[in-house]
Chains A and B, each alone.
Chain A
Amino acid sequence: MLTKEQIAKRIAKEVKNGQYINLGIGIPTLVANYIPASLDVVLQSENGLLGIGPFPTADKVDPDLINAGKQTITMVPGSSLFNSAESFAMIRGGHVHLTILGAMEVSENGDIANWKIPGKMVKGMGGAMDLVASAENIIVAMQHCSKDGQSKLLPQCSLPITGIRCVKKIVSDLAVLEVSPNGGFILKERAPGVSIDEIKTKTAGKLIIEGEIPEMTFD
Chain B
Amino acid sequence: MINKTVKNAAEAVADIPSGCILMMGGFGLSGIPENCIQALLQKPISGLTIVSNNAGVDDFGIGLLLKKRMVKKMISSYVGENAEFERQLLSGELEVDLIPQGTLAERVRAGGAGIPAFFTPAGVGTEVAQGKEIREFDGKMYLMERWLRADFSIIKAWKGDTVGNLIFKGTARNFNPIMAAAGKICIAEVEELVEAGELDPNQIHTPGIYVQRIFQGVNYEKRIEQRTITP
Contacts and interface: CB of A to CB of B under 8 A. Distances in A.
B165 interface: no
A193 interface: no
B125 A88 contact: no
Contacts of A162: 126
A83 B230 CA distance: 27
Interface size class of B (residues with CB under 8 A): 35 or more
A61 B122 contact: no
A27 interface: no
Contacts of A65: 170-171
A55 B228 contact: yes
Given A61-B224, A129-B100, A134 B105 contact: no
A133 B125 CA distance: 10
Chain A binding surface, main DSSP class: loop
B223 interface: yes
Contacts of A37: none
Interface residues of A, number: 52
Interface string B42-84: 0000000000010000000000000000000000111111000
B27 A84 contact: yes
Contacts of A124: 76-80, 98
Interface centre among B89, B105, B121, B230 (most CB of A within 10 A): B105
A63 B230 contact: no
A75 to B, nearest CB: 8
24 contacts: A48-B171, A54-B230, A64-B222, A69-B226, A70-B29, A71-B228, A72-B229, A81-B170, A84-B53, A84-B105, A88-B103, A89-B106, A92-B102, A92-B120, A119-B90, A123-B79, A123-B80, A124-B77, A125-B77, A126-B101, A127-B102, A129-B123, A133-B122, A161-B125
Interface of A: 45-49, 54-58, 61-73, 81-85, 87-89, 91-92, 111, 119, 122-130, 133-134, 160-165
